[in-house]
């Protein structure tokens, strides 16, 4: 008997990436795009002076986390990203957790990335073109000290 699709489990299809939410501390902000959710472990190479092998031993070292870039459309009177960036004074910005959640078709959080001690590092306003036909987009780049992933 052929499968009509009515009994398919939820694990069969991969998640879509266009449904997500971002919580900036306790405030939910709406973004068009979030990029840079990555982590890497640096490699430490070592070779003892009396080693018979002419190669190094490789060990995992410190973890590095890339900056996260948030992009959103500019709305009349909305200066939320600029306000976050403008509050930075020399090492006195309150570092906050930021959570980025991938949502399923019902709006339930399926995967959540949490940025530890995040703070803005770069703000970019929109480019302007007299012959353009695009939405005005602003960008905020955020640095952080750690990334955790929780899957439901």
Q: Tell me, what's the pLDDT at 8? A: 59
Contact criterion met (CB below 8 Å) for 114 and 148: yes
Q: What pLDDT does residue 83 have?
A: 86
Distance CA 112, CA 97 (A): 12
Other CB atoms within a 10 A radius of the CB of residue 109 amount to 16
* Domains observed in the chain: 20-151 (2.30.110.20)
Q: What is the pLDDT of residue 58?
A: 93
Q: Using CA atoms, how far apart are residues 75 and 90, in angstroms rounded to an integer?
A: 29
Q: Can you give the pTM of this predicted structure?
A: 0.82
* Alpha helices by DSSP H, 8-151: 80-86
DSSP track, 87-109: T--TT----EEEEEEEE-TTS-E
pLDDT, position 11: 61
Averaged pLDDT, groups of 10, the chain, 152 residues long: 59 82 89 94 92 90 96 92 84 87 91 95 92 92 95 87
Query: E strands, the chain, where?
Result: 20-24, 27-29, 33-35, 39-46, 57-65, 68-73, 96-103, 109-124, 137-143, 147-151
Measured CA to CA, the distance from residue 71 to residue 97 in angstroms comes to 18
Report the first-to-last Cα separation within the chain, whole angstroms: 33
């Amino acid at each position: 008997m052929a499968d009509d699709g009515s009994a398919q489990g939820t694990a069969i299809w991969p998640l879509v990436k266009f449904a997500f939410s971002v919580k900036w501390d306790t405030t939910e902000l709406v973004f068009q795009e979030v990029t840079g959710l990555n982590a890497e472990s640096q490699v430490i190479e070592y070779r003892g002076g009396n080693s018979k092998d002419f190669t190094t031993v490789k060990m995992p070292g410190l973890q590095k986390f890339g900056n996260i870039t948030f992009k959103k459309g500019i709305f009349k009177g909305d200066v939320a990203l600029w306000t976050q960036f403008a509050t930075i004074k020399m090492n006195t910005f309150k570092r906050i957790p930021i959570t980025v959640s991938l949502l399923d078709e019902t709006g339930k959080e399926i995967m959540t990335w949490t940025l530890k001690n995040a703070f803005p590092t770069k703000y970019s306003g929109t480019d302007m073109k007299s012959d353009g036909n695009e939405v005005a987009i602003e960008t905020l780049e955020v640095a952080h000290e750690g990334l955790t992933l929780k899957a439901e």
